[in-house]
Structure 1
Amino acid sequence: MTPGSLPTLEDLGDVEGRRVLLRADFNVPIRDGVVVDDFRIRAALPTIEWLTERGARVTACSHLGRPKGKPDPTYSIEPVRRVLAELAPGVELLENLRFDPGEEANDPTFVAKLVEGQDLYVNDAFGASHRAHASIVGPPRLLPSAAGRLLQREVDVLLPLRTDPEHPFVCILGGAKVSDKLAVIGALLRVADSLIIGGGMCFTFLKARGHTIGDSLVEEDMVDTCRELLEREGDKLHLPTDITALGPGGEIGNPDAGGEVRQVGADVPDGWKGLDIGPGSAAEFADVIQAARTVFWNGPMGVFEDPRFEAGTKAIASAMADAPGFTVVGGGDSAAALDQFGLAAAIDHVSTGGGASLELLELGDLPGLEALRGAPNA
């Protein structure tokens, strides 16, 4: 293992007969007690199979939802356990880690309980590795540890975007709030050739540029910050030139409530809400994506859950799927949109962690990665 790199499964040595605690990310959607999307469970199988084929005895653990530190049947891990038993027979799965307040508090007592009877630790939960929680940062202090195949792949794909992407490098950011993504915007602008801004956060930028935004989402306290960014990095930033807006009386997700849907320019009329980029912007953004050698996308362009406002996000997803460059989608709602439009298979890498992928791009490290590098065998 080279200095500063993550310990790998091979660094664990002979695992036959060893008891391995596997931190996975099985935070999957469950409806009526049934897992409705097993992508994250299947994503852990390469690591599980590597361990079990070499004779290791694997105990997996994961969080599920936000049960607030106490048992809650709504967030029982049992539906996940049933799926895992079919996909990886013989692998034990502990109850929801967040049923114990010690998980989110990184309580050493809870860590000791987790590692009791275990010989080795593997972290394959990229989507949780930006959290300094007990199951992420505790075991590597006590056990020989390694990154699982999924975690290693995420790092191998995402870190080079921050340090040495192929150019032109295009980033697409959406979502609701500028404040949530300001730090990663700054980090990406240091390396990206173009940064496309969509979603609810675009209206704070549009207001900073002097446009009217009607009743669209805006962060008033971020307008000056956006104005400074536009003055400093205006040649790199691409904002929508047209908007799909909902008129007075309309409701998101309820077409029957009335309210006209109309394409407007970059100025949204009073009483109207901008809820998606318009077709002109979608075409302009697609052209930028097509010319890129590397593309990173995180955050939808509009409220794609409502069919009236899905076109912008669908256009970006299609442009990503058709792009000749290397394409990366940073998890979260963007990954959900790809699934909705049936385009996930056309993307080179779909991250399992929205927040984790952004934090890794922003900071170049995560608490979970740092912990692995400090393990006794690292």
Structure 2
Amino acid sequence: MGWKTLDDLDLQGKVVLLRVDVNVPMEDGIVTDATRIEKIVPTIEDVLEKGGKPVLLAHFGRPKGKVVPEMSLEHILPALEKALPGRHVLFADDSIGEAASHVIKGARPDSVVLLENTRFHAGEEKNDPELAKAFAALGDIYVNDAFSAAHRAHASTEGIARLLPSAAGRLMEAELRALDAALGKPERPVVAVVGGAKVSTKLDLLGNLVTKVDHLVIGGGMANTFLVAQGIEVGKSLAERDMADTARAIIEKAKAAGCTIHLPVDVVVAREFRAGAANETVAADACPADAMILDAGPQTVAALAKVFAEAKTLIWNGPLGAFEIEPFDAATNAAAKQAADLTREGKLVSVAGGGDTVAALNKAGAAQDFTYISTAGGAFLEWMEGKDLPGVIALNN
């Protein structure tokens, strides 16, 4: 790994510009879930312990280069103060120039400074070199702790990293190490579970994974498209029939790469999409014409259990069925619990990510036992697709 960590830099007496993700949910100006704020605390405390002055750079919402008062980071100040008890937290009403510089210079050595929303500047999302220079002028060292924004080449994630000595923060470091263990230099066999509604949104992902993993498990609505591609009728199920040729091409690519694709062998079907709907379990090729597939069946779960038991590494993105409503969460819950058990027993390295995935694993009560759960969304998916992430690449310079 070419990037440095906090351990590689001398922070004593230095102003450390720390790019963080505090894009938290809010209602009526109050933070409703402070998880993202709590996750940056170890990096902030580390910088302080090493004698540095942490200055937080962050975006919030999509103000499109204009000052939008309800998207001001001043709203998160109380939650940040709560996460850093005993620390003096200051706010600057701009992220560049005299307003920011004045607050940073006046801050005590044990203080934390939060700068205003970087996206209030039109140059942020355009990676404007002048804006990157204005950010860099405020500090001595740049630390990126926002993996979730690493797939964007913005002034505060990519441009600035080329202008100052740079390193990964603790959260970014943990994420990159977990991802390297899962796809960079994994222990084999490697299994990837990819679920969700549409094949069309995960083409790059599937195309990359079949060349990297030993087993690819396809679930959710995507599995229906693959069944259709094999000439199997799926009734009224969600399926992208126009993607059948693409699905067949992915199957051929997998064969050539020595990757085994696993599709449902039995399915749970219902006539209506609602919690507690009357349902039955049938063979994957026996979906009634007036029914829809809403989950994988118990035989499929048993087959997956064998694949998981022999695996050393698991990457998971997306549910196996309509996990939001019971009883169509059964396959996702059972597979997630088994992956969690194997991980807890030290037999499996398990890495999961993506919005629906995190929700599904939390619902199954399995998330806490996974080796690593990424909350990064788009960055996690682009990494799974094999794409270079600008914010990470820039740290290598």
Q: Same fold (TM over 0.5)?
A: yes
CA drift at 1:44: 1.6
Distance 1:154-1:269 versus aligned 2 partners, 3 A rule: same
Identity in percent? 46
1:188 paired to 2:209: yes
Distance 1:106-1:271 versus aligned 2 partners, 3 A rule: farther
- Of 366, 370, 376, 2:389 maps to 366
- Of 37, 50, 70, 1:54 maps to 50
CA drift at 1:31: 4.1
Q: In the comparison of the two structures, how many residue pairs are matched?
A: 364
Distance 1:147-1:303 versus aligned 2 partners, 3 A rule: same
CA drift at 1:188: 2.1
Distance 1:109-1:205 versus aligned 2 partners, 3 A rule: same
Between the aligned partners of 2:236 and 2:63, the Cα distance in structure 1 is 35
1:216 paired to 2:251: no
Partner-residue secondary structure (3-state), 1:218: coil
Q: Which amino acid aligns with 1:5?
A: G
Between the aligned partners of 1:370 and 1:49, the Cα distance in structure 2 is 25
Other-structure match for 1:170 = 191
Between the aligned partners of 1:63 and 1:287, the Cα distance in structure 2 is 44
* 70-79 vs 358-367, which moves further: 70-79
Partner-residue secondary structure (3-state), 1:301: coil
Q: Which runs of 5+ in 2 are unaligned?
A: 90-111
CA drift at 1:205: 0.8
1:263 paired to 2:287: no
Other-structure match for 2:297 = 278
Other-structure match for 1:5 = 2
CA RMSD of aligned residues (A): 2.5
Other-structure match for 2:98 = none
CA drift at 1:25: 1.6
1:299 paired to 2:323: no
Provide Cα deviations, 1:205-262, integer angstroms capped at 9, x if missing partner. Answer: 1111111122322233321021122245356000012223341xx345xx49xx6444
Of structures 1 and 2, the one with the larger relative CO (CA 8 A, separation 6+) is 1
Provide Cα deviations, 1:113-132, integer angstroms capped at 9, x if missing partner. Answer: 43342221110111110111
Partner-residue secondary structure (3-state), 2:45: helix
Residues 159 and 364 of structure 1 are in contact (CA less than 8 Å); yes or no, is this contact kept in structure 2? no
Residues 235 and 288 of structure 2 are in contact (CA less than 8 Å); yes or no, is this contact kept in structure 1? yes
Residues 163 and 191 of structure 1 are in contact (CA less than 8 Å); yes or no, is this contact kept in structure 2? no
Other-structure match for 1:25 = 21
Q: Which runs of 5+ in 1 are unaligned?
A: none
Provide Cα deviations, 1:291-313, integer angstroms capped at 9, x if missing partner. Answer: 21111111112232223322222
1:347 paired to 2:365: no
Residues 210 and 253 of structure 2 are in contact (CA less than 8 Å); yes or no, is this contact kept in structure 1? no
Distance 1:314-1:31 versus aligned 2 partners, 3 A rule: farther
Between the aligned partners of 1:22 and 1:269, the Cα distance in structure 2 is 56
Residues 298 and 354 of structure 1 are in contact (CA less than 8 Å); yes or no, is this contact kept in structure 2? no
1:330 paired to 2:374: no
Residues 332 and 355 of structure 1 are in contact (CA less than 8 Å); yes or no, is this contact kept in structure 2? no
Partner-residue secondary structure (3-state), 1:101: coil
Partner-residue secondary structure (3-state), 2:265: coil
- Of 258, 262, 276, 1:238 maps to 262
CA drift at 1:368: 0.7
Distance 1:193-1:122 versus aligned 2 partners, 3 A rule: same
* 50-59 vs 107-116, which moves further: 107-116
- Of 332, 336, 357, 1:313 maps to 332
CA drift at 1:72: 4.4
Between the aligned partners of 2:308 and 2:377, the Cα distance in structure 1 is 20
Other-structure match for 1:179 = 200
Between the aligned partners of 1:74 and 1:215, the Cα distance in structure 2 is 44
Between the aligned partners of 1:321 and 1:358, the Cα distance in structure 2 is 21
CA drift at 1:69: 4.2
* 286-295 vs 265-274, which moves further: 265-274
Residues 180 and 186 of structure 2 are in contact (CA less than 8 Å); yes or no, is this contact kept in structure 1? no
Residues 182 and 351 of structure 2 are in contact (CA less than 8 Å); yes or no, is this contact kept in structure 1? no
CA drift at 1:363: 2.4
Q: Which amino acid aligns with 1:62?
A: A
TM-score normalised according to structure 1 size: 0.87
Residues 228 and 241 of structure 2 are in contact (CA less than 8 Å); yes or no, is this contact kept in structure 1? no
Residues 204 and 219 of structure 1 are in contact (CA less than 8 Å); yes or no, is this contact kept in structure 2? yes
